Amino acid sequence: MGKLKLSDRQLYALLEAVKLGEEVKPSQSAKRKAFSKYKIEGWENSKLTGIFYSIQRRLGLIDEIIEELVGVSPLILDPWLRAALRVALDVAVFRDPNEKTLQHLKGLAQFLSKKTHPFVGYYYYDILPRVLEYVPVIDSEEKGLKWDYLFPEWFIARMKKMLGDEAEELLKSLNETLPTSIRVNRLKASVEEVEAYLERKNVRFERSERVDTVLRILDPFNPEWLFNKGFALAQEEAAAVASLVLAPEPGETVVDLAAAPGGKTAHMAELMKNEGKIYAFDVDSARIKRMKEVLKRTGVEIAETIKADGRKAPEVLGEEIADRVMLDAPCTSDGTIAKNPELRWRLREKNIPKVVALQRELIESAWRLLKPGGRLLYSTCSMLPEENEEVVKWFLERHDDTRLLPINGPYDPGFLEGTMRAWPHRQGTIGFFYALIEKEK
């Protein structure tokens, strides 16, 4: 590999994408916006996309270095300066830039002066030599793994405790980019029709072995047209499995307690052949708006969206009204890091108990909604046992009218008999947990 060559324009695009990535979620939307402004296309796009995502993956590490060099948390710096230092550190410390690229890094000082304030440009110019000379000190195994795999040390320790030697495989797989997965919406199209469309576009794809309506797209391709027509939705295989495990039937009453952006609601409506009723709860107005668009596009007729906290659902709907309840609970979402690389540095060990408290309240609310004989699916996209098996155990101990129904595949048994887990490194999807609970008659 030759030395890294970046032009001024490419550095400006990266800098704006990194800055925008703080305000716009998911970060890929920020990247698209900044790259189109600077007309970054074709091979140039793939090269810069790789650099952008590696900055997101290394964010916590890069910010630690900035703090070491500057003496204050990067979060209190001017946002343009913060973004410029992040880009400069990634290029200078983790890559091998050529002489011209180093000159262009210096040139960012003028760009900053124009964008924000001349003082910011001077300050950047002043600190850049220390950035270019930085060498890390790695003095512990955890720190070594942190540099190798780019995760907070507490998270690495947790995964090692849970998986032993296998933990490194998991950390490695969380650093790989997952292909785009889409789920065909059978209310509007057949899998064969969508596959034929992709073939016409010369896009390589594979059908999931575990969910026959999920396709993985193996080439850079934007499936926007399929989404707009409602023929398909963006959904990971492990997320699609949740609705299949709950298996709602036509004519039933179903409650989805944390429903936005609506992928599972739409999937359940499809499984129910648009017969019956789904009440889809969420607290966030923006997410509800998106969910309504998704449901409209996919031709879902039986879902009613309700803007309310899922914990209030029994007051809104009454008790024992549902045949099935889907509780895909809010969680730390660490199972989705391959999809959201910047998330890893927002994970805080001290936040876990807060999340667990909310999950416990929601599962209690779900139980009150369920008819005798009804079924509840408790799922998360977290891999931490406290948010998964521990919540289910706590719940089962509190209620004597419960039965954990064993889930036999398509993934691996969880750490509590009868539950199931999808692992990124074993199944090539996001991390996911499932527990199916029945209310005894």
Q: Give the separation between CA 336 and CA 340, rounded to whole angstroms.
A: 6
CB of 408 closer than 8 Å to CB of 440:
no
Residue spans of alpha helices (H) in 298-377: 313-317, 352-369
Q: How do strand 277-282 and strand 303-307 relate by DSSP bridges?
A: parallel
Of the candidates 381, 383, 392, 430, the residue annotated as catalytic is 381
| CA–CA separation, 345 and 59 (whole Å) | 7
CB atoms within 10 A of CB 300: 25
Tokens (6 digits) for 424: 């990124």
Look at phi and psi of residue 320 and say left if phi exceeds 0, alpha if psi is from -120 to 50, else beta: left
| E strand or H helix at 186 | none
Name 434's bridge partners: 379, 420
End-to-end C-alpha distance for the chain, whole angstroms: 67
**Would you say how long the chain is, in residues?**
441
**How many other CB atoms sit within 10 Å of the CB of residue 384?**
24
Q: Which amino acid is at 302?
A: I
Residue-by-residue DSSP string for 148-166: HH---HHHHHHHHHHHGGG
How far apart, in whole angstroms, are the C-alpha atoms of residue 269 and residue 278? 7
351 Cβ neighbours under 8 A, 6+ residues apart:
332
Torsion angles phi and psi, residue 145, rounded to 5: -65, -35
Nearest to 376 by CA among 307, 301, 320, 295: 320
Q: In the 8-state DSSP scheme, what is residue 340?
A: -
Angle CA 49–232–378, to nearest 5: 90
The answer to whether residue 331 is catalytic is no
d(CA 439, CA 392): 14
Rg (the chain; Cα; Å): 24
* Residue located via tokens 């950035």: 131
Cα(400)–Cα(396) distance, rounded to whole angstroms? 7
d(CA 143, CA 156): 10
Kindly list the catalytic residues: 381
